[in-house]
Amino acid sequence: MSAALLRRGLELLAASEAPQAAQSQAQPSGASVKRARRAKAAQAQKLRNSAKGKVPKSALAEYQKRECRDHLRANLKFMTATKSTLAESVSKQVCRILQQNRGRKACDRPVAKTKKKKKAEGTVFTEEDFQKFQQEYFGS
């Protein structure tokens, strides 16, 4: 974290605590009220002069937002507190419905593969045909 960002976060934290302290201590004098107004105006001016008009965020708030929280205990407490059992009649109905729907879809049915019988590989021509062709072609 850069020093400027840390300084800005501390300024914002101090500014957020300052109004609470001012409310708890009543200041009767007019001069102290003027000082408080000037401080508020200076703080507002600092916020206005930020980069691209963006209001800087508190470093503490950013840390708390990004902090990793462990929700295990809360989740376990919730899960153990909400135990509900299903009535037997309802569970039987659900089982019946699931049983009816099982196997009706095309994706649930296995594809029946038919095995093709391989024929014995052989030629259509006989040995005599080959000899006849050889005599006609080669002339021997």
Pick from 10, 21, 86, 1: which is nearest to 46 by CA?
10
Distances (CA, A) of 120 to 124, 129, 131: 12, 20, 23
CB atoms within 10 A of CB 40: 14
Name the residue ranges covered by the structural domains of the chain.
Answer: 3-138
Average pLDDT, whole number, for the chain?
76
Which range has the worst mean pLDDT, 9-23, 63-77, 105-119, 124-138? 9-23
Which range has the worst mean pLDDT, 37-41, 53-57, 101-105? 53-57
DSSP 103: T
Percent of the chain with pLDDT over 90: 2
Q: What is the pLDDT of residue 128?
A: 92
pLDDT per position as a tens digit, 96-135: 888 877 776 777 777 777 777 777 777 788 889 989 988 9
Report the SS3 class of residue 112: coil
CB atoms within 10 A of CB 9: 19
CB atoms within 10 A of CB 78: 10
pTM attached to this predicted model: 0.20
19 compared with 92, residue with greater pLDDT: 92
